[in-house]
């Protein structure tokens, strides 16, 4: 869904994948106009004004955003996603694009030039996505109104008003379901539809929302655990109102929406998994590739990078297989890992304790790798039961910008027999520290940056850093046994496979079965995980490419710095600078780190 991720670390074992980037829109860079400080000051102010206006507009149009900034005024509202409102937003985005486009980038200071470039890219990508009709596919197995109850996970429930705001939101859900139906109907008319294999999961997801009793509804959960701050009589009244609303409004509306999905939208959904099968779909996919990777790499080039990485990682996997003395090929070893009881916990509770134990070992190791650490803590939570069967192994929810809510590392406890112990370490460093939590929390503390930069979610950077962080586990004392090291390779292979199967399905016309078979042949993840992963790629074209492309760029930049600085290379300084501007496009990251390396080399040379 496109919406507005036992040996020392040795990068020498990875041949650098030179991804020198020709930017999509080379707005970053240029030159300074010496002697034009007045012009630069004036135009810097013009960019700042445009950024402030766009941010205020964003908070107005997307009320769900406001809570993160201490403003509860949006807690009773949903974003208006009607066709008319979508069109009006496009008019505003066009005006913002013209406003920023009229400012000469060469006249700006370097940081403001980057601000302008990033916001303009973000705006223009939103406009292109709209022109491609991607807003008409707003639902898949992981995204859509069937998961609206998840909003409560992010909301405060301390006062009576908090509960009344949630009730108001629930009252508005039937209308919001109509807006989703409007978008999907327009998508049917314009041949912008999801794959049937994805939509097949949705009716059952909706059915889980429509419960036999209101108390069993996921929308009622906040009222079942009502705060002690609420007067008991008021609490009883709120609970009664919620039960009536669920029974008389929400359940009927979701039943009707489920009928629409099953009887109208599913039959109209595309039989092929790839978006490239739609008229103009290959052009839409090329756009998504460029958007998610922030490069000009073609689907063909990315497919080949994936094949090369798969071959490289297979070689490292086969070395581990030889080390443990397993008598068999890679596929047989992977089958052994998928089925041997020794690699799995028996209960969800044991699995959760396994994740929590690993998380406690991570924090003390960070000082070896970073000079600056985030102030905001994080915790480990189970993924809610309602969504666990259809979602990934884990995900991360960032803290609020004010730090009042910590970051949360959510782990999937559904069917512990398919969630191997040997992947817990590598998954944890990706999702918590030094991966997503460290990077995103640090970005939130960059108070000298505009808000859109602090909350930037450039996928190639955010997920590239997460994947890069997995290799940092060696420096942190993880992967001490060969099976854990194999787990790290499995996760690296997983992201390499993504390059092949995502481009394969969406651009080269691969079937879903071919993609699953390729995944099974190369990675030790369980078949249940693999099927969920493949279906995720089908429903979210291009997003899966960002991880490996971002990681390879960061590996390349680190390799260059290690060669240039030799024994004087300081990993903490490198990481602090790499993370010091928040999540930025890969071309901007390359420029930033090239400049840093030049300064470091000059400092070594002395006067």
Strand partners, 195: 270
pLDDT tens for 243-255 read 999 999 999 999 9
| Over residues 119-144, mean pLDDT | 97
**Would the pLDDT of 38 be above 60?**
no
pTM over cut 0.95: no
Distance CA 184, CA 169 (A): 22
The mean of the pLDDT values for the chain is 91
Q: Sorting pLDDT into bands at 50, 70 and 90, what band is 82?
A: very high
Q: H/E element holding 409?
A: strand 407-411
pLDDT grade, residue 11 (50/70/90)?
A: very low
Instruction: Tell me the CB-side half-sphere exposure of residue 318, using CA atoms within 13 A.
Output: 9
Question: What is the tens place of the pLDDT at every residue in 434-483?
Answer: 999 999 999 999 999 999 999 999 999 999 999 999 999 999 999 999 99
Q: Is pLDDT at 595 greater than 80 in this prediction?
A: yes
Q: Which two tokens stand for residue 158?
A: 């301390």
Task: State the pLDDT at residue 41.
Answer: 57
> Does the pLDDT value for residue 78 go beyond 70?
yes
Percent of the chain with pLDDT over 90: 86
Angle (CA) 46-50-51 rounded to 5° is: 115
- Is residue 406 left, alpha or beta, with left meaning phi > 0 and alpha meaning psi from -120 to 50? beta
Segments in 102-201 forming alpha helices (H): 110-131, 160-189, 196-199
Q: Return the pLDDT at 80.
A: 98
What does the pLDDT look like over 378-417, one tens digit per residue?
Answer: 999 999 888 888 788 899 999 987 778 899 999 999 999 9
CA distances from 588 to 26, 302, 450, 547 (A): 10, 20, 17, 17
pLDDT in the model for residue 389: 87
Answer whether the bond into residue 134 is a cis peptide, omega within 30°: no
Which CA distances in Å does 104 have to 39, 42, 92, 115? 10, 11, 21, 13
* Sole residue written with tokens 């590739």: 289
Give the dihedral sign, CA 496/388/396/419.
Answer: negative
- Over residues 221-248, the mean pLDDT reads 96
| Dihedral angle, C-alpha 65, 592, 545, 489, nearest 10 ° | -110
Q: Taking 60 as the threshold, does the pLDDT of residue 309 lie above it?
A: yes
What is the residue whose two structure tokens read 């400080």? 37
Residue 268 has pLDDT above 70, yes or no: yes
- pLDDT bucket at 106, cuts 50 / 70 / 90: very high
Above 80 in pLDDT, residue 299?
yes
């Amino acid at each position: 869904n496109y919406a507005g991720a036992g040996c020392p670390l040795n990068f020498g074992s990875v041949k650098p994948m030179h991804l020198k980037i020709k930017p999509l829109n080379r707005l970053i860079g240029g030159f300074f106009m010496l002697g034009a400080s007045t012009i630069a000051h004036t135009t810097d102010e013009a960019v700042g004004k445009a950024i402030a206006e766009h941010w205020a507009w964003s908070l107005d149009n997307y009320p769900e955003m406001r809570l993160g900034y201490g403003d509860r005024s949006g807690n009773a509202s949903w974003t208006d996603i009607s066709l008319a409102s979508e069109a009006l937003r496009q008019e505003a985005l066009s005006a913002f694009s013209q406003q920023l486009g009229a400012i000469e980038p060469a006249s700006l200071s370097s940081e403001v030039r980057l601000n302008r470039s990033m916001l303009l890219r973000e705006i223009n990508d939103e406009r292109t996505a709209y022109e491609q009709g991607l807003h008409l596919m707003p639902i898949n197995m992981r995204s859509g109104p069937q998961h609206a109850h998840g909003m409560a996970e992010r909301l405060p429930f301390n006062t009576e008003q908090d509960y009344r705001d949630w009730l108001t939101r629930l009252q508005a859900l039937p209308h919001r379901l109509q807006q989703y139906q409007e978008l999907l109907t327009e998508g049917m008319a314009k041949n912008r539809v999801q794959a049937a294999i994805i939509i097949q999961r949705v009716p059952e997801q909706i059915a889980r929302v429509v419960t036999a009793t209101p108390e069993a509804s996921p929308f009622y959960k906040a009222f079942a655990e009502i705060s002690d701050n609420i007067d008991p009589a008021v609490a009883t009244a709120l609970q009664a109102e919620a039960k009536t609303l669920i029974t008389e409004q929400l359940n009927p509306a979701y039943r009707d929406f489920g009928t629409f999905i099953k009887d109208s939208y599913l039959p109209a959904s595309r039989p092929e998994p790839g978006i490239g099968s739609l008229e103009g779909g290959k052009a839409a996919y090329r756009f998504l590739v460029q958007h998610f990777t922030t490069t000009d790499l073609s689907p063909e080039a990315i497919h080949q990078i994936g094949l090369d990485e798969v071959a490289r990682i297979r070689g490292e996997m086969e070395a581990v297989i030889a080390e443990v003395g397993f008598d068999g090929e890679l596929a047989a070893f992977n089958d052994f890992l998928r089925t041997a009881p020794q690699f799995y916990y028996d209960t969800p509770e044991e699995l959760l304790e396994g994740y929590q134990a690993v998380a406690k070992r991570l924090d003390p190791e960070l000082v070896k790798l970073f000079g600056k650490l985030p102030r905001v803590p994080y915790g480990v939570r189970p993924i809610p039961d309602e969504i666990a069967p259809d979602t990934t192994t884990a995900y991360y929810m960032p803290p609020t910008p004010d730090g009042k809510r910590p970051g949360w590392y959510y782990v999937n406890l559904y069917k512990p027999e398919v969630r191997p112990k040997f992947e817990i370490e590598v998954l944890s460093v990706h999702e918590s520290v030094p991966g997503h939590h460290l990077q995103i929390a640090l970005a939130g503390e960059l108070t000298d940056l505009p808000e859109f930069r602090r909350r930037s979610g450039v996928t190639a950077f955010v997920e590239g850093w997460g994947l890069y962080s997995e290799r940092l586990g060696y420096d942190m004392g993880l992967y001490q046994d060969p099976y854990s090291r194999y787990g790290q390779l499995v996760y690296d292979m997983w992201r390499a496979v993504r390059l092949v199967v995502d481009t394969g399905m969406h651009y080269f016309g691969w079937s879903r079965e071919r993609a699953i078979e390729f995944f099974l042949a190369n990675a030790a993840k369980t078949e249940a995980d693999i099927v969920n992963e493949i279906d995720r790629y089908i429903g979210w074209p291009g997003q899966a490419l960002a991880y490996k492309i971002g990681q390879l760029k960061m590996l390349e930049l680190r390799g260059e710095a290690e060669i240039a600085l030799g024994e004087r290379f300081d990993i903490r300084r490198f990481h602090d600078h790499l993370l010091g501007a928040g999540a930025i496009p890969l071309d901007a990251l390359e420029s930033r780190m090239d400049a840093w390396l030049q300064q470091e080399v000059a400092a070594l040379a002395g006067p």
